[in-house]
Amino acid sequence: MAAFTRPRIGSLIADRRLSTLCFLMADFVIGMRVFYLTHCSLSTDHCKLSLMFKRFMQNGRDLFAKESSSILSAATIIMGATLASALLGLIRTRLLISYFYSEPAVVDVFWAAFRLPDMVFQVIIVGALSSAFIPVFSRFIGDKDAANHLANSMINLTMGVMSILSLGIIIFAAPLSRLIAGGFTPSQLDLMVNLTRIMAIAQLFFGFSSFLTGIIQSHQRFLIPALSPILYNFGIILGILFLGKPLGIYGPAFGVVIGAILHLLAQLPLAHQLGFRYRPTLDHKNPAVSEMSRLMLPRMLTLSLTQIEATMIITFSTWLSSGTVTLISLAQQLANLPVRLIGIPIGQASLPFFAKVTHGNNLKDLASMVNNTILEMLYLALPASVIILILRVPLVRLAYGADSFPWSETVLTGKLVAILAISIAARSLTHVLVRVFYAMHDTRTPLIINTISTVTNVSLSYYFLFVLKSSVLGMAAAISIASLIETIVLVLILYSLAQFALVHILFPLGKILFASALTALALWAPLRILDQMIFDTTRTIPLIMLTLSVTLIGTAVYLTLSYLFNIRELGVFLHLIEKIGNWQKALGQSKETLDTSESSV
């Protein structure tokens, strides 16, 4: 097992040198600014230089509040921030494992304790934002007083419901914990009750902050909302590092509260600048508030199914061996990374384009657009699935391989990641498919299919775990099978429409699948050779070098095969800058909140 060593003296010296360099650079910048301002009167040229420098500094400050007029820069910031948040989330989880996994039962309780507060947040807040708040609020932006009145009314109404439910969680934490985690011991349940109450408080800060995200994004400012989840993860890391030793597992729980507060504080200044002023008003008779409430219900039902599915995974895991809750959570976090980086952004970006074509009742053009989007999605998602599948053990070791994480747990987590990787492309594709139905004003079909998927997942999980006794691997298999069924049914129903001919994508899809299969071989062979003959993967740096080397080899092979097979999507992504620009334009027009918050740990 790869051991992540503590920082050596040399690295600490390097950190000090880096800090010193940063201070010197800052002093230099300040000195230059003072110099030009002081000597501005000496010549016209110096005055121009001073004005240029002040303009440069002002532009840097304005970047955080700037409306997205530069398509490329804003989209790059959003995607980069998403990646940074995901990587920081992995660091956060690794620290959690490093500090506390010597007692797997305690870490299990931490994951389970977050489930109930997060469920309430996802259903109430995310349901309100994604389907109700932003589409309606955007219509009132031109009238600041009306917009402010509407925002406060909706915030107070929703947060009132959220507060009542959170208070219910705090009061009835004990019976609710026994309901969710019936397999825990009495001492685990007592700990879960306390942690649940702490993290229920955090969701109140997160809920209010999420409405600020909606307000800011409605004004087409995306940078601050994209950066806020980084601060959330940073808060949890602070809780682990500074409160972990004196408070134990309560440290990261309080870190969740700290992260939620940081998430809120980061957005307050810009929201204030955009004209938002909090008022304790509640105009429930306002037609716009009524419209929001009506739009929330279908989305809340869909999210409820997803949350029931996630909760049942935790419930079943508590009846298995100690550490199972943690292992399935770790595997899902790693396997969901490509979905967060590929599936969700493309899915959200595609909706305005689909809606525009659908508005003209042109199913033929919609079919062509959907086919292209599906192929482009799979062109990215399939090789990502292959990379996760082949490099599962090195990735698990890099992400979670602390000294307290045994080799047997690493292997088991790798197996779970491999099973979940099978459905990465399907789960990514679902984010596109459901939005085709939304564009056609059909919210019922995705809800019905999601219900079928949830029932399938829960039923298969129970059957595999308690009838076949297949351990946690069976639960991972149930997750992937349910995801594949959901995607296949969505495709079959969608392509049953007259102009949606499945045959149009079979040949290009076959080329992508064949290239991905050959890429899997190109990843597997170097992994075995380099692992056994070149890199000493018992150490961290060689393990990183192995992972990067194999990934680069696989990527080069995939791109070469794409060129040889004349895969159209290669040309599309060679113009990635333009494509990212289209995503940003779509996100600016999107009527749903961007997936920039990471509410779950």
Place 43 in a pLDDT band, splitting at 50, 70 and 90.
Answer: very low
Q: What is the pLDDT of residue 22?
A: 42
Interior/surface letters 265-290, b for 16+ CB within 10 angstroms, e for the rest: ebbeebbeebebebeeeeeeebebbe
Residue 195 scores a pLDDT above 70: yes
Residues constituting the chain = 601
Contact, 81 vs 230, CB < 8 A?
A: yes
DSSP code at position 140: G
91 CB-side CA count, 13 A: 15
Q: What is the pLDDT of residue 41?
A: 40
CA dihedral 381, 340, 396, 185 (to 10 degrees): -130
Residue 223 scores a pLDDT above 60: yes
Which of 330, 351, 344, 332 minimizes the C-alpha distance to 380? 344
Q: What is the pLDDT of residue 586?
A: 52
Mean residue pLDDT across the chain: 81
Contact, 270 vs 64, CB < 8 A?
A: yes
Q: Measured between alpha carbons, how far is residue 266 from residues 213, 231, 232, 320, 355 in Å?
A: 10, 8, 10, 40, 33
Q: What is the pLDDT of residue 33?
A: 41
| Contacts for 560 with CB less than 8 Å, ≥ 6 apart | none
Q: Is 496 helix (H, G, I), strand (E, B) or coil?
A: coil
DSSP code at position 184: S
Q: Which of 22-31, 285-294, 584-593 is the most confident on average?
A: 285-294
Between 412 and 290, the higher pLDDT residue: 412
Place 95 in a pLDDT band, splitting at 50, 70 and 90.
Answer: very high
* Distance, CA of 532 to CA of 267 (rounded, Å): 50
Instruction: Dump pLDDT digits (tens) for 362-406.
Output: 777 888 888 888 898 899 999 999 999 999 999 999 999 877 899
Q: What is the pLDDT of residue 31?
A: 42
Place 73 in a pLDDT band, splitting at 50, 70 and 90.
Answer: very low
Q: What is the pLDDT of residue 70?
A: 35
Residue 271 scores a pLDDT above 60: yes
Instruction: Dump pLDDT digits (tens) for 527-543.
Output: 999 888 888 887 888 89
Q: What is the pLDDT of residue 53?
A: 42
Q: What is the pLDDT of residue 539?
A: 83
Q: Region 269-274: what's the mean pLDDT?
A: 91
Q: What is the pLDDT of residue 42?
A: 38
Worst-scoring range by mean pLDDT, 12-16, 31-35, 208-212? Answer: 12-16
Between 460 and 75, the higher pLDDT residue: 460
User: Which tokens in the block code for residue 403?
Assistant: 């000294």
Q: What is the pLDDT of residue 300?
A: 81
> Three-state SS across 211-230?
HHHHHHHHCCCCHHHHHHHH
Which of 85, 150, 433 minimizes the C-alpha distance to 293? 150
Residue 336 scores a pLDDT above 70: yes
Residue 587 scores a pLDDT above 60: no
Q: Region 29-56: what's the mean pLDDT?
A: 42
Q: Measured between alpha carbons, how far is residue 15 from residues 20, 28, 541 in Å?
A: 9, 20, 18
User: Rounded to 5 degrees, what are φ and ψ at 226?
Assistant: -75, -30
Q: What is the pLDDT of residue 293?
A: 79
Q: Measured between alpha carbons, how far is residue 94 from residues 97, 236, 318, 398 in Å?
A: 5, 12, 21, 9
Residue 471 burial (C-beta neighbours within 10 Å; 0-12, 13-18, 19+):
middle
| Contacts for 427 with CB less than 8 Å, ≥ 6 apart | 336, 339, 343, 483, 487
* Distance, CA of 145 to CA of 140 (rounded, Å): 9
Instruction: Dump pLDDT digits (tens) for 490-536.
Output: 999 988 875 677 777 889 999 999 999 999 999 999 999 988 888 88
Q: What is the pLDDT of residue 592?
A: 55
Count of Cβ atoms closer than 10 Å to residue 38 Cβ? 11
Over pLDDT 70: what percentage of the chain?
Answer: 79
Residue 170 scores a pLDDT above 90: yes
